[in-house]
């Protein structure tokens, strides 16, 4: 049973491990796919499941592999690309096409286009900021906000704290595997690839920083994905580091779920959220003890149980 966590009463809970990661699961439900045109960009979507309409912001190819089919009986998951995961238009666009408000408005365009009504919204990693800022801008359209594996900011302190966590907490084995991966996939190899391929392979060779199992190979999860690095570099390198998520939190009445993996070396320790917690009106934090950056995939049974119970208790 979940308990709503108020302004000054936030509790961590720990979960138990699975023996193995799940295999990639194809849902038994019918899959609805399509494209939404926004300006000069064509955003793909994939819809699976029945129940509460739930937008998953990010990559419509990658994220259906991350969330397991158990959720499809409770949630109508709408996996929606943002501009960082679609091929660039044939004409040049300036960085205003990658502005955070533009990306947020793309989500609203999709909600209207698909006639979803009031939605839950899920953002993983940096996409959690897109989900949060969307909920602030369109609060009447959001029933639940789910943030997964995100720090409260991405400024210099975030980078320093993450690096320190890796230095001080990562095992010798993890560090050795990263070194082996860099020998297997050296910079000279990456230099021969397209920018999209380079982005994905760099993620793969750094997998011990992201996954509880330091030997896990995430390559199958990325199969078929395209990364528009111009968008990603600008949003992650310029926009997110300047974002102050505290702005507007005093008006956010939507229940918020925050899932964090204890072995996520891409992020600082979960304690970095301590100063921010009191600013949320209704925040539930769950720490998954045997996960890295992706608890829905690494501990799917427990993640699903906790998420669905939380939604039920905040319906």
Nearest to 6 by CA among 257, 313, 277, 288: 277
Choose the catalytic residue: 38, 81, 264, 291: 264
For the question of residue 81 being annotated catalytic, the response is no
The count of residues in the chain is 315
Choose the catalytic residue: 82, 124, 127, 293: 293
For the question of residue 244 being annotated catalytic, the response is no
Q: 179: number of CA atoms within 13 Å, CB side?
A: 6
Choose the catalytic residue: 38, 60, 125, 149: 125
Distance CA 132, CA 212 (A): 26
For the question of residue 291 being annotated catalytic, the response is no
Distance CA 103, CA 38 (A): 10
Distance CA 191, CA 216 (A): 24
Question: Token pair of 13, please?
Answer: 């809970």
Residue 208's alpha-carbon distances to 154, 168, 173, 240, 294, in angstroms, are 21, 15, 9, 24, 12
Catalytic residues: 125, 264, 293
């Amino acid at each position: 049973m979940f308990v709503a966590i108020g302004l000054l009463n936030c509790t961590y809970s720990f979960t138990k491990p699975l023996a193995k990661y799940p295999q990639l699961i194809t849902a038994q439900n019918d899959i609805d796919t399509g494209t939404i045109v926004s300006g000069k960009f064509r955003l793909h979507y994939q819809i699976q499941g029945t129940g509460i309409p739930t937008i998953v912001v990010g990559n419509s190819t990658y994220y259906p592999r991350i969330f397991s089919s158990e959720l499809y009986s409770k949630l109508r998951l709408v996996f929606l690309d943002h501009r960082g995961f679609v091929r660039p238009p044939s004409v040049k666009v300036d960085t205003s096409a990658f502005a955070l408000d533009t990306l947020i408005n793309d989500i609203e365009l999709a909600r209207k286009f698909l006639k979803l009504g009031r939605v839950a919204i899920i953002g993983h990693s940096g996409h959690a900021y897109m989900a949060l800022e969307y909920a602030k801008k369109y609060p009447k359209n959001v029933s639940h906000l789910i943030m997964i594996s995100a720090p409260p900011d991405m400024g210099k302190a975030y980078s320093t704290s993450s690096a320190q966590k890796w230095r001080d907490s990562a095992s010798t084995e993890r560090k050795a595997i990263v070194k082996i991966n860099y020998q297997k996939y050296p910079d000279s190899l990456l230099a021969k690839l397209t920018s999209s391929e380079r982005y994905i392979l760099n993620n793969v060779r750094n997998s011990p920083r992201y996954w509880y199992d330091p030997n896990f190979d995430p390559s199958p999860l990325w199969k078929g994905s395209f990364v528009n690095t111009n968008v990603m570099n600008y949003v992650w390198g310029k926009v997110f580091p300047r974002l102050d998520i505290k702005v507007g939190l005093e008006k956010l009445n939507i229940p918020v779920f925050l899932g964090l993996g204890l072995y996520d070396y891409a992020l600082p320790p979960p304690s970095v959220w301590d100063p921010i917690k009191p600013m949320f009106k209704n925040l539930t934090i769950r720490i998954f003890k045997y996960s890295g950056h992706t608890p829905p995939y690494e501990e799917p049974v427990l993640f699903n149980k906790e998420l669905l119970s939380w939604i039920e208790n905040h319906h």
